[in-house]
Structure 1
Amino acid sequence: MAPEYVNREAVRERVARLLDEYGREGVAVTTAREPPEEDFETLRGYAEDGYLGGGYCVVVREEADHPGFSETMPEDANTEGPRALLALGRYGESWGPAGGGREAGETFEAAAEREVREEVGVDCSVTDVLLVRRVTVVDPDSGDEIHLAYVVFEAAYDHGSIDVQETEVAGAAWFDDLPANRHPYVRPFAWRWSA
């Protein structure tokens, strides 16, 4: 029996739309073939119900949007320049973009903006695509494949203050210098930030 390719065309179409809409130049596109991290049939059920992967945002707040400091902050506290909002992974391993799974019917952009709001309490608007990671999860028994995409966006800060959903992330912060222990999803953004 020939293997099944769950969501292959849907992922291909959505990734093509992103690259056409935002432009392909400067977007890191990676592919990976992986064994399932959990029960393959459970993941297949999610995929058949519309799960295609997730969206994440590196949110940038411009200097003019800084809320200012309280009176107890030292006079040499710095508010100059933009800041990037990153979330600390649930287990405190690295700083990366807030975000998560795309729900059925959502665009990757809508999923990313919703997840940022839910995880860290900040509203943002997607401005660019930084990274597209296409993953093919392969069932070692049947050879069936589930196709997924994880998309990292750059986003502009709209409003809100950090309010961490502790069941999702261990913390969040605005950075003027990106931390050394950053998630691989932040690496395509790092060159823009240091410029």
Structure 2
Amino acid sequence: MTGERDTRRASRETWRALADLVSEEGELEVVHRRWECSPDVRDRLVENLDSVGILGGAGALVRRQSPEGDRPETLLVGYGDGEGWSDPGANLEPGESFHECAERAVEAATGLRVTVSGVLQSHVLYADDWTDRDPVPHPFVLFEALYGEGTAEPRGSAEAVEWFLDPPAELRYEELRDVV
């Protein structure tokens, strides 16, 4: 089941999830972006929706005061796939909110436990393969989180973590530059 009906269902679920987030957070600006992927990746998104009833993910930008104390630093993660620095993020798990997903993603990638606050960005990534099928929408919400204590170290699929005062040249997605 990977046809037009699946795309319509994914769209309904995406907008339902974002509407729930708007009711919690208030007005959101949504960035729409095409995500070129293989047919297998697109099919896995649809299978995930079929098997666990969810699509989407979340991440967080963790901030701390710089050692000089003049402006905040932002923690970014390198996943080793050569696509640049990114926020720690993950896909939603069954029964999990976007907030919970972002907190879990930060801990899984960096070892830091954080509490997320406001939404920085919300995205709908349209997983589009080279076939003639419609793209599958995949919502992603980026939160802000404040650093408490502990040392950030790469964990799980993260190969590097680093604090940045300014955005690095190599970012996984350009919209991130606006909030780093």
TM-score above 0.5, yes or no: yes
Q: Is the 8 A contact 2:61 2:144 kept in 1?
A: yes
Answer whether contact 1:28 1:130 (CA < 8 A) is retained.
no
Aligned to 2:137: 147
| Offset from partner CA, 1:120-144 (integer Å, 9 cap, x none) | 1111111111221113446745x46
CA contact (8 A) 2:13 2:54 kept: no
Higher-Rg structure is 1
- Counterpart residue identity of residue 44, structure 2: T
Aligned counterparts of 1:137 and 1:108: Cα–Cα separation in 2: 19
SS in structure 2 at match of 1:186 = helix
Distance change (3 Å), C-alpha of 1:175 and 1:12? same
Question: What is aligned with 1:58?
Answer: 61
Out of 84, 87, 92, the residue aligned to residue 94 of structure 1 is 84
State how 1:1-195 maps to structure 2 within 5 Å.
3-4=4-5, 5-24=8-27, 28-32=29-33, 36-39=37-40, 40-48=42-50, 49-62=52-65, 78=68, 80-137=70-127, 140=131, 143=133, 146-165=136-155, 167-183=156-172, 184-190=174-180
Deviations 1:44-85 (A, max 9, x none): 21121234121111101236xx7xxxxxxxxxxx45542211
Preserved CA contact (<8 Å) 1:32 1:135 = yes
Aligned residues: 172
Q: CA separation in 1, counterparts of 2:169 and 2:58?
A: 23
Distance 1:47 1:9 in 2: 11
TM-aligned CA deviation for residue 108 of structure 1 = 1.1
* C-alpha RMSD of matched pairs (Å): 2.6
C-alpha separation in 2, matches of 1:29 and 1:136: 13
Q: Which residue of 2 aligns with 1:69?
A: none
**Structure 2 Cα separation of the partners of residues 90 and 185 of structure 1:** 20
Letter in 2 for 1:169: A
SS in 1 for 2:16: helix
Identity rate of aligned residues, in percent?
A: 28
The verdict on how the C-alpha distance between 1:10 and 1:84 changes in structure 2, with shifts beyond 3 A counting, is same
